[in-house]
């Protein structure tokens, strides 16, 4: 069961990041086809995110083992945090798209700009996480908050590792 959840989490990572969309389309398209419309891509990404959220929520549920009272307190707070994270994931996807668009003709200035945007995003993610953990700390004991932090940090590390494997280094 634990191994299945980790596999589900890894699949969720690919789906949440949006990086699996292009790879899956490339693998499924043996002959040249017209590029999908932006609306089609956006719709596919949104469906993948929905599926990924379900997997991540399952992983959190199993890892945290909340009582029904704890779950009733946790999930509304988490839904708010999840909305903040969605905006940050959108920003990350925007940076990756900009990187891909400029990859073959990357200038030093563009590379520096993308790096600054990525660093700014890391700071926003850390701030959102700090704020959410502070909110959890008002409702849960420190060990419960720490356990959530560990679970979510693992999910974040899987996302980062997946992206690191998918995004080529600047040349």
pLDDT tens for 84-116 read: 999 999 999 999 999 999 999 999 999 999 999
Model pTM score: 0.71
- Band of the pLDDT at 52, cuts 50, 70, 90? confident
Burial bucket for residue 134 (CB in 10 Å: 0-12, 13-18, 19+): exposed
Residue 166 vs residues 77, 129, 158: alpha-carbon distances, Å: 32, 25, 12
Residue 77 has pLDDT above 90, yes or no: yes
Which DSSP string do the residues of 40-109 spell out, in sequence order?
Answer: HHHHHHHHHHHHHHHHHHHHHHHHH---HHHHHHHHHHHHHHHHHHHHHHHHHHHHHHHHHHHGGG--HH
Q: Supply the pLDDT for residue 35.
A: 55
Domain residue extents for the chain: 2-22+36-166
Q: Supply the pLDDT for residue 9.
A: 40
Of 1-5, 57-61, 72-76, 105-109, give the lowest mean pLDDT range: 1-5
Tell me the average pLDDT of the chain.
81
């Amino acid at each position: 069961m634990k191994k299945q959840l980790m596999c589900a989490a890894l699949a969720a990572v690919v789906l949440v990041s949006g990086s699996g969309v292009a790879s899956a389309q490339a693998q499924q398209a043996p002959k040249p086809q017209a590029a999908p419309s932006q609306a089609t891509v956006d719709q596919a990404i949104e469906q993948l995110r929905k599926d990924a959220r379900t997997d991540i929520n399952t992983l959190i549920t199993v890892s945290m083992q909340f009582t029904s009272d704890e779950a009733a307190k946790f999930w509304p707070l988490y839904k708010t945090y999840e909305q903040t994270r969605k905006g940050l994931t959108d920003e990350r996807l925007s940076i990756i798209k900009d990187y891909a668009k400029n990859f073959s003709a990357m200038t030093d200035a563009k590379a520096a700009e993308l790096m600054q945007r990525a660093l700014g995003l890391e700071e926003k993610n850390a701030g959102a996480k700090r704020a959410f953990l502070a909110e959890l700390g008002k409702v849960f004991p420190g060990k419960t908050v720490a356990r959530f932090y560990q679970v979510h940090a693992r999910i974040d590390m899987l996302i980062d590792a997946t992206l690191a494997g998918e995004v080529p280094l600047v040349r």
